[in-house]
Amino acid sequence: MPGSIVYAAIIRAIGQLNDRATLDFILRAYNDFDPFVRVEVLEALKRLDPTGEDARSKATVREALNDPRDSIVRIACQLVVQYRDTSAIPVLQRITETRPEVAATSYDALRQLGQY
């Protein structure tokens, strides 16, 4: 079994435990090369830091908006809205103009943040 699959499963399990003490581990895991691991990190953040109280969570989500994988950008857009992170608005606007595959998701996030 490839290591990244195991790593992603660990991230998922930790996220389901909902223990904020694991947040450092989860945030470091976002730097993994495997997009499956990065998806699991974002999903775990939804539970571990649901309001974006930790500035590192918001920074990770904003970084994820620039991910080459559309699936990751979609989840990041959801988290930007969940966190009410208005500092991500310029990136969301750029996405609507430059990434047609995720433009609708980005536009919806902007709308929910009161931009449209």
Q: Which of 100, 103, 107, 55 is nearest to 81 (CA)?
A: 107
What is the predicted pLDDT for the residue at 66?
Answer: 98
Domain count along the chain:
1
pLDDT digits (tens, 9 = 90+) for 4-63: 889 899 999 988 988 889 999 999 999 999 999 999 999 999 999 999 999 999 999 999
CATH number of the domain to which 17 belongs: 1.25.10.10
pLDDT digits (tens, 9 = 90+) for 66-90: 999 999 999 999 999 999 999 999 9
What is the predicted pLDDT for the residue at 19?
Answer: 86
Give the chain's largest Cα–Cα span. Answer: 46
Angstrom distance (rounded) from CA 107 to CA 81:
11
Angstrom distance (rounded) from CA 113 to CA 31:
27
- Evaluate if pTM is beyond 0.75: yes
Q: How far is CA 1 from CA 8, 33, 43, in A?
A: 12, 17, 22
Check whether 1 has a pLDDT greater than 70: no
What is the predicted pLDDT for the residue at 48?
Answer: 95
Q: Which domain holds residue 73?
A: 3-112
